[in-house]
Amino acid sequence: MEVTPQLEGKKILQPALFLAGEKDLVLKFPGMNLDAMREHVPNLKGLVIVPGAGHWDPAEYPEEVNQSLLDFLKDWR
């Protein structure tokens, strides 16, 4: 938090969807903990890991990504 000390302890409060590819190296970053994500994103509506996808999951698996987004957004009609 050296670069963004003003964000220390802040939470993401809006409804959110986390979507990543199974092979995305972001998931292996130090400190990345999907189980603890709900603590920082209390209104997390979904956590989707696209099997076989890397970092560019929308380009690699557009149908799966679009369906996940549509499922998330249908609650907002």
- Dump pLDDT digits (tens) for 45-71: 999 999 999 999 999 999 999 999 999
* Rg, the chain, Cα only: 14
pLDDT score for 73:
94
Q: Report the mean per-residue pLDDT for the chain.
A: 91
pLDDT score at 75: 80
- Within 10 Å of residue 53's Cβ, how many Cβ atoms? 20
Q: Which residues contact 15 (CB under 8 A, 6 or more apart)?
A: 43, 45, 75, 76
**pTM attached to this predicted model:** 0.82
- Alpha-carbon distance 20 to 46, whole Å? 11
pLDDT of 31 over the 80 cut: yes
Give residue 13's pLDDT. 94
